Amino acid sequence: MTSTGPDGGGRPSLAAERLRAQLLTGTPARTVAGVTGHLLAVQAQDARGARLAVRARTSGLLAADVDRALTADRSVVVSWLNRGTLHLVLAEDYWWLHQLTTPQLATGNARRLAQEGVPPADAERGVGVIERSLAADGPLTRAELRDRVAAAGVHTQGQAMVHLLALATLRGLTVRGPKRGAEQAFVLVRDWLGAPPRPMAREQALGLLARRYLAGHAPATDRDLAKWAGLPLGDARRGLAAIASGLADRDDGRASLATREAPDVPDVRLLGAFDPLLLGWASRELFLAPGGPVITSNGLFRPFVLVQGRGAALWTVSGGRVVTGQLRPLTAPEQAALAAETADVERFLAGARQTQAAPRAAAAG
């Protein structure tokens, strides 16, 4: 699949440019922090999906490397940020992203707590229990915190505990940090990340948001940025205006940091649940094959096979082996790429370290 536009004039296609920005072609990142910092925020309510997003953008890492970054290195954390969704972010980016993207989430959180039968006074009591428990005995898992909050007489059934934990997070008290067994435990921000830096001025934060977003998502519009960050359109426009002098000249109305040649789209890639490729823009149609599988449904984003830049089938893991859905007949290069991707996903999840990571192909063919 060529990376030139339909006029054949040599301009990379929009899909090819975005795939490159997403680190799905070209030179892969070398570390968990490298992927996370480049994309700025990786949706992480599906733990395996977040780890697979790292795999697809690196070479030779393991799922255990993500756990190590969360636990021993403390280089990344998970928190409710953009759009009120759990995201994996660099520890150093947590502070300003939390400051910028969470204040507008308070009203929705209060409404959900009320719907779950938790009045404001009980919500305050529950957050107090969470903070004291983590100060005394953290890190603690969600189940451990739920037991303590329930013992204090606060309703925790249904989704009540989730929204109590979200409230503690929105107030800047907690993040999800280290792995404990199969779970990621909660910690106090002050214990895990130390003292906060000086708050960033809002205009500066909006400009930083725009620049960092474009690094992993360009070309993109102001509406793409607003939807991804969960901010008003006016804020997205202010952020882009703040970095206007550093944007490349384009004739399609999209913003980009620089014009650079994009390689062809990859033959085949296996992407996990909630992969950033389907969550970074106002529309995901560019990467969905017409008449292809239902990748997104009722807020769920399934693992999918990307063939020549389009979602062509679903896949899953059964008994440690990758199982793909029905695919159209593949060319020889596509078959080879699928076999390589399948083996790498199985290696990544099983923890089999490569003696020497093979360089990832940057383009099709």
Q: Which residue from 214, 222, 271 is spatially nearest to 248, judged by alpha carbons?
A: 214
Long-range contacts of 136-139 (CB under 8 A, 24+ apart): 138/185, 138/186, 138/187, 138/188, 138/191, 139/177, 139/178, 139/180, 139/185, 139/186, 139/187
Q: pLDDT tens-digit profile of 169-183?
A: 999 999 999 998 889
> What pTM value is reported for the model?
0.92
CA-based torsion, 339, 342, 345, 350: positive or negative: negative
| DSSP letter string, 285-349 | GGGB-TT----EETTEE--EEEETTEEEEEEEEETTEEEE---PPPPHHHHHHHHHHHHHHHHHH
Q: Among positive and negative, which fits the CA dihedral 340, 343, 348, 352?
A: negative
pLDDT for 355 beyond 80: no
124 contacts: CB under 8 Å, gap ≥ 6:
none
Residues 171/53/213/246 CA torsion (nearest 10 deg): 150
Which of 230, 222, 221, 226 lies closest to 252 in space, CA to CA?
A: 221
Count of Cβ atoms closer than 10 Å to residue 153 Cβ: 10
**Whose CA is closest to 16, among 305, 226, 222, 277?**
277
Angle made by CA atoms 141, 143, 149, in degrees to the nearest 5: 105
Report the pLDDT value the prediction gives residue 216, as an integer from 0 to 100.
Answer: 97
Predicted confidence (pLDDT) at residue 82 exceeds the cutoff of 60: yes
Joined together, the tokens standing for residue 44 give: 């992480």
Confidence of residue 271 (pLDDT cuts 50, 70, 90): very high
Query: For residue 10, is pLDDT > 50?
Result: no
Q: Give the span between the Cα atoms of 137 and 166, in whole angstroms.
A: 19
d(CA 258, CA 261): 10
Nearest-5° Cα angle at 83, 80 to 88: 40
Overall average pLDDT of the 22-29 stretch: 96
* Domain ranges (residues) in the chain: 103-171, 268-350
Instruction: Determine the Cα angle at 190 with ends 187 and 193, to 5°.
Output: 80
Answer whether residue 86 shows pLDDT above 80: yes
pLDDT, tens digit, 9 for 90 and up, residues 178-223: 998 889 999 999 999 999 999 999 999 999 999 999 999 999 999 9
> Please, what is the average pLDDT of the chain?
93
| Torsion sign, CA atoms 30, 31, 36, 42 | positive
* Residues 152/126, Cβ–Cβ less than 8 Å: yes
Q: CA 286, CA 302: separation in Å to the nearest integer?
A: 17
Structure-derived torsion over alpha carbons of residues 180, 185, 189, 194, reported in degrees to the nearest 10:
0
CB 152, CB 118: distance < 8 Å: no
Residue 324 has pLDDT above 50, yes or no: yes
Terminal CA-CA length for the chain: 9
As a whole number, mean pLDDT of residues 150-162 equals: 98
Predicted local confidence at residue 251, as pLDDT = 85
Q: Which long-range contacts (CB under 8 A, 24 or more apart) does 313-318 make?
A: 315/270, 317/345, 317/346, 317/349
Which pLDDT value is given to residue 167?
98
